[in-house]
Chains A and B, each alone.
Chain A
Amino acid sequence: MNEFVESRVRLTWPDRLRSEYDVVILGGGGHGLATAYYLATRHGIRDVAVIERGYIGSGNSGRNTTVIRANYGVPEAIRFYQRSLELFQGLEEETGRWIMHKEKGLLWIAHTEMGLRAERARAALNHAYGAETVFIGPDEINEICPQIDLAGGGRYPVMGASYHPRGATARHDRVVWALAEGAMQNGVEVHQNTTVTGLKVSGDRVTGVKTERGDISAGVVMMALGGQVTMVASMAGLRLPIRSHPLQAFVTNHYQPGLDAIVASTELLFYASQTARGEILIGAEIDRQPSYSYRSSYGFLSSCAGRALALLPFLADLRVLRQWAGICDMTPDYSPVMGPTGREGLLVTTGWGTWGFKAIPAGGEAMAQLIATGEMPELIAPFGLDRFARDLPLSDRGSAGTQ
């Protein structure tokens, strides 16, 4: 975090790590900080420590493509992400911080007959479960986003789209800082540069964590770790349904503002939006091989740029400014995992694959409620880790990243 931001966000760092807290949250990203924020503000639980290995928001909270939407493919997910979308709409007022939330509308383009069926089904299912999505034809697409080449470069004709008018973006770092600031003002301690080296286990119960700055006892330990959750869970002898894949994205140079909508195509496997700075932000699907490497590849850049050009030919005049990768924790059914782990005193929120940023407020709210009441909130009950043993997976390839 640079000095300019530091002067405007009032973050207060604790000087020492205590040896006991009611709640210890591992991971200072959006989900960990949101849980701490809601624990402190909604449930009055303030004896909370957030432990972060690097700096807050240094993992996937600072690497995602900032889209907020609720147009998922299974009822449980639609309800959950719709709650998150609504919480995001009120987050600036609630935290008193400008997170650059902007409603843009999201176009999900179909190029084939099967794609049309999928988008019609998505619109109908979203409508039935409370998310606003309508099916529209090429003329309306042209009105909403005139930059789209309806001929799709001659290879990917635009046949229709599901339109999600409440689709939005927000500045991801500002979301992290707003939640951190709100949590800190309510007594939560956030410890950066603190690596977890082990979990304190007694029988089937997790009683705390070991860090390189000392051991901590805790009533509840919650893992909100992106990319490293498998290793920390294994410290309690726990196996998770998680495989970590890199996901790459890139931005172009600054361009006159004008791409107002978020454009996505599941068949072309990319999505694009324009940031407040004018850069066109383009993301894509996960890399096929599991890996923890943040290296980006030219193979991805050339193939993704080619696909984006087929739909948005004006991009041909732009230059690539930055490219990066984040690590996506993928579950076998492409839905997140939230709730108990089977070890007493240890909770997990993981499997945030390519849909973690948009779930930050609702995920944090639900996990805070679970910690405070000890009962699984109805909203996230279907997302428990036990769903695999009960043969109730939530198969939802609801993003452009997971086809």
Chain B
Amino acid sequence: MLYLTCPNCGRRTVEEFRYGEIPTIPESITDPDARDLDRGFMRTNPFGPSVERWFHDYGCRRWFTVTRDTTTDEVL
């Protein structure tokens, strides 16, 4: 089971939290239309460490940042 540690509330199970993606558009994409397309539909889908924003929905209702390894669900 994936646990997250909220800076305000402590260690809780993942069911209490909401995942918030940070959209990462590669700098190599320069055309504005291509950047819009990437923002809307394309996903980086990282395999390994991933910097993410999470929202503590059933707790303090605040956003915080975690680095998670997506291959193991471990918080780094």
Residues on A close to B: CB < 8 A? Answer: 228, 230-231, 239-244, 288-293, 295, 297-299, 303, 332, 388-389, 393
Q: Given A239-B42, A388-B37, A389-B37 in contact, is the A293-B70 Cβ separation under 8 Å?
A: yes
CA distance A231 to B71 in the complex (A): 13
Residue B30 is within 8 A (CB to CB) of chain A in the complex: no
Residues of A within 8 A of B18 (CB): 288
CB distance from B47 to the nearest CB of A (A): 5
CB distance from B38 to the nearest CB of A (A): 7
Instruction: Tell me whether A293 and B47 are in contact (CB under 8 A).
Output: no
Shortest Cβ distance from B13 into A: residue? A299
In the complex, besides A241-B41, A291-B71, A299-B14, 11 extra interface pairs with C-beta distance below 8 angstroms are A239-B26, A240-B42, A243-B21, A243-B43, A244-B45, A290-B19, A291-B73, A293-B71, A297-B2, A303-B15, A389-B37
Instruction: Sample 16 A-B pairs with CB under 8 A, ordered by A number.
Output: A230-B43, A239-B26, A239-B38, A241-B43, A242-B45, A288-B14, A289-B68, A291-B2, A291-B70, A293-B70, A293-B71, A299-B14, A299-B15, A388-B41, A389-B37, A393-B41
Q: Which 5 pairs from chain A and chain B are nearest by CB? A: A230-B45, A388-B41, A297-B1, A241-B41, A293-B73
CA distance A299 to B47 in the complex (A): 24
CA distance A11 to B48 in the complex (A): 35
CA distance A141 to B22 in the complex (A): 45
CB distance from B52 to the nearest CB of A (A): 8
Q: Given A293-B71, A299-B1, A389-B37 in contact, is the A231-B19 Cβ separation under 8 Å?
A: no
**Count of interface residues, chain B, beta-carbon cutoff 8 Å:** 23
CB distance from B44 to the nearest CB of A (A): 8
CB distance from A35 to the nearest CB of B (A): 23
Residue B40 is within 8 A (CB to CB) of chain A in the complex: yes
Q: Is the interface of B mostly helix, strand, loop or mixed?
A: loop
Instruction: Tell me whether A295 and B73 are in contact (CB under 8 A).
Output: yes
Shortest Cβ distance from B15 into A: residue? A299
Q: Is the interface of A mostly helix, strand, loop or mixed?
A: loop
CA distance A228 to B45 in the complex (A): 10
Q: Given A299-B13, A299-B15 in contact, is the A240-B43 Cβ separation under 8 Å?
A: yes
Residues of B within 8 A of A299 (CB): 1, 13-15
Q: Which of B12-51 contact A (CB under 8 A)?
A: 13-15, 18-19, 21, 26, 37-38, 40-45, 47
Residues of B within 8 A of A242 (CB): 43, 45
Q: Which of A239, A288, A293, A332 has the most CB of B within 10 A?
A: A239
Q: Looking at the complex, which one of B13, B15, B42 makes contact with A241 (CB distance below 8 Å)?
A: B42
CA distance A388 to B34 in the complex (A): 11
Residues of B within 8 A of A290 (CB): 19, 21, 45, 70
CA distance A100 to B59 in the complex (A): 48
Residues of A within 8 A of B71 (CB): 291-293
